Amino acid sequence: MNKIVSNKALKRRYRKEKIFKGAAIFALLLAASFLVFFFSNMIGKGVSAFSQAEILVDVHYSESSMKSYRKAVDKPYRKIVSRGWLRTLPMYMEDNPEVMGTTRQEWVLATADVDQYLKGYPNRLKDKHKQYIDKLQEEGKLKLAFNTGFFTRGDSKMAELAGIKSAVIGSILVLLVTLAVALPIGVMTAIYLEEFAPDNRLTQLVEVNINNLAAIPSILFGLLGLAIFINFFGVPRSSALVGGLTLALMTLPVIIITTRAALRAVPNSIREAAYGLGASRWQAVFHHVLPLAFPGILTGTIIGLAQAMGETAPLLVIGMMAYIPDSPTGFTDAATVLPAQIFTWAGESIRAYEERTAAAILVLVTILLSMNAFAIWLRKRFETRW
């Protein structure tokens, strides 16, 4: 029985085993630690954008501030109250005449530099302003409040005013177009290929085609959108319509492939049972197969939409990174989407945009992960074992 007692060669083999296993664990841990690093980095960068500096000042609603909006606040405050906010005052006064002639103490938006100073980030404030701000803070006239404006305002050239609302609305409009185009066409194509098409050369060609479509880099869909939708069909550039159409072409193969898989997962015995009772092909599909495949189709659609929602490259090419301060109101208005907004903010040199970019990323990633989690939950919930 000497032979099964370990010897030198065996020890070496076991060492190798350990090294290999160690490398495998290391690889997985590397990927995992990146994930942790990435999320802590984004949260670290972005979380501060959810609060925003506000100052308690006397606002004068008067004729003179109507003419020159800077006069609405007292002189020492003029450098630290957001000019972008002040600029909205005349319009506010026109809409609400009853406030005219009054002076009210209100919490108003501070400039981005004040905001950054309070948060301890680099800023362009002069020392005398810094001292003044410290004093205000001691008096309790300066605070960091929840940044509702980030969710209720559109893009702005002034960092403290910039929000994601118009980008979110743009994203929703684009996704609606994508869904309206890709879902029916994709599901119908899948039904045809899986349930009706004869198994011939043409069908195989279509299959290869769809496989290829799924592998084409997204940027090339942008080229297609530009050449065909914009230049040929004359769909307005930068509009949610052209963005949605372009993304629909990208989502189409995802929906077709997942729908086909869902249809294929329905066992043939169900179809035969229906045929045996005298159901026509269409009736077998519509009454029995499609309802059973529905959760799978839904899962695929959600995953496809999540992909489309995170897509940026093809949209840049069709002009969807325009500066859009006001939310689009229709499918042909110029619009931007959340990822494109992230891209434009990321290119801004002012420090205050960086945290907003990270915050927008947190919002986007949260939405996308929730969509994916919902899709996975759906799949698990309605998974049928045959």
Partner 1 sequence: MNTSDAAFYFFITVLPIAAVIGFLVKSKVQNAFNDTHWRSLPIHYAFYVGLVIALPGAIAFFFASALHLLTIYTADGIHVLVLATLLSMWGGFHSLKNVRPAFCARESVERIIRYFLISAAFISILTTIGIVLAIIFEAIHFFKIVSLWEFLTGTHWAPDDATEGNTSGMFGSIPIFAGTFMITIIAMSVAVPVGILSAVYMSEYASEHVRNIAKPALEILAGIPTVVYGFFAAITVSPLVVNFAESAGLHADYTNALTPGLVMGIMIIPFISSLSDDVIRSVPRSLRDASLALGTTNSETIIKIVLPTALPGIIAACLLGVSRALGETMIVVMAAGLRPNLTWNPLEGMTTVTVRIVDALTGDQAFDSPETLSAFGLGLVLLVITLILNFISIYVTRRFRSQYE
Partner 2 sequence: MLLQFGYANDLKQGGNMNKSKISIHELKLWYDKNQALHGIDLQIAEKKITSFIGPSGCGKSTLLRCLNRMNDHISNCRIEGKVLIDNQDIYDPNVDVVQLRSHIGMVFQKPNPFPKSIYENVAYAPRIHGIASSGDDMDELVENVLKKASLWKEVKDKLHQPGTALSGGQQQRLCIARTIAVKPEVILMDEPCSALDPIASAKIEELMDELKKEYTIIIVTHSMQQAARVSDFTAFFYMGNLVEFGNTGNIFTKPQQQQTEDYITGRFG
Q: Which stretch binds partner 2 (CB under 8 A): 105-113, 140-148, 278-286, 351-359?
A: 278-286
Total of chain residues touching partner 2, rule CB under 8 A: 21
Q: Which amino acid is at 33?
A: S
- Helix residue ranges per DSSP H, 145-285: 149-152, 165-191, 201-215, 218-224, 240-265, 268-276, 281-283
- Helices (H) and strands (E) in the chain — how many of each? 17, 3
Interaction mask 305-324, partner 1, x per CB under 8 A: -x--xxxxx--xx-x-x---
Q: Which stretch binds partner 2 (CB under 8 A): 50-58, 160-168, 204-212, 283-291?
A: 283-291
Q: Does 71 bind partner 2 (CB under 8 A)?
A: no
Which residues have a Cβ under 8 Å from the Cβ of 279 and sit 6 or more positions away? 287, 288
User: Which residue from 66, 172, 180, 197 is in contact with partner 1, where contact means CB under 8 A?
Assistant: 197
Q: Does 204 bind partner 2 (CB under 8 A)?
A: no
Min dist. Cβ of residue 25 to partner 1 (A):
6
Q: Does 30 bind partner 1 (CB under 8 A)?
A: yes
- 272 is in the binding site of which of partner 2, partner 1, none (Cβ under 5 to 8 A by kind)? partner 2
> Which CB atom, from 110 or from 306, has the smaller least distance to partner 1?
306
User: Which residue from 91, 100, 145, 219 is in contact with partner 1, where contact means CB under 8 A?
Assistant: 219
The alpha carbon of residue 255 and the mean position of all alpha carbons in its chain are separated, in whole angstroms, by 20
How far is the C-alpha of 220 from the C-alpha of 224, rounded, in Å?
Answer: 6
Q: Does 269 bind partner 2 (CB under 8 A)?
A: yes
Residues in the chain: 386
Contact by Cβ (8 Å): 177, 331: yes
User: Which residue from 281, 370, 376, 383 is in contact with partner 2, where contact means CB under 8 A?
Assistant: 281
Three-state DSSP at 317 gives helix
> Which CB atom, from 82 or from 251, has the smaller least distance to partner 1?
251
Contact by Cβ (8 Å): 143, 92: no
User: Which residue from 272, 347, 380, 383 is in contact with partner 2, where contact means CB under 8 A?
Assistant: 272
Min dist. Cβ of residue 154 to partner 1 (A):
19
Which residues have a Cβ under 8 Å from the Cβ of 179 and sit 6 or more positions away? 301, 305
Interaction mask 274-293, partner 1, x per CB under 8 A: ------xxx-----------
Q: Does 242 bind partner 1 (CB under 8 A)?
A: no
How far is the C-alpha of 332 from the C-alpha of 310, rounded, in Å?
Answer: 21
Cα distances from 69 to residues 79, 81, 86, in angstroms, run: 13, 12, 6
Q: Which amino acid is at 311?
A: E
Q: Does 231 bind partner 1 (CB under 8 A)?
A: yes
- 189 is in the binding site of which of partner 2, partner 1, none (Cβ under 5 to 8 A by kind)? partner 1
How far is the C-alpha of 297 from the C-alpha of 263, rounded, in Å?
Answer: 9
User: Which residue from 66, 158, 206, 279 is in contact with partner 2, where contact means CB under 8 A?
Assistant: 279
Q: Which of residues 71-100 bind partner 1 (CB under 8 A)?
A: none
Q: Does 297 bind partner 2 (CB under 8 A)?
A: no
Contact by Cβ (8 Å): 142, 149: no
Q: Which stretch binds partner 2 (CB under 8 A): 106-114, 169-177, 286-294, 349-357?
A: 286-294
Sheet of 51-60: strand order equals: 103-109, 51-60, 142-146
Q: Does 66 bind partner 1 (CB under 8 A)?
A: no
Cα distances from 66 to residues 62, 84, 340, 375, in angstroms, run: 6, 15, 36, 53
Q: Does 148 bind partner 2 (CB under 8 A)?
A: no
Q: Which stretch binds partner 2 (CB under 8 A): 88-96, 229-237, 273-281, 303-311?
A: 273-281
User: Which residue from 45, 78, 237, 288 is in contact with partner 2, where contact means CB under 8 A?
Assistant: 288
Residue 174's nearest CA partner among 231, 224, 229, 245 is 245
The alpha carbon of residue 344 and the mean position of all alpha carbons in its chain are separated, in whole angstroms, by 14
Min dist. Cβ of residue 212 to partner 2 (A):
25
Min dist. Cβ of residue 340 to partner 2 (A):
44
Residues that bind partner 2 (CB under 8 A): 198-199, 267, 269-281, 283, 287-288, 292, 384
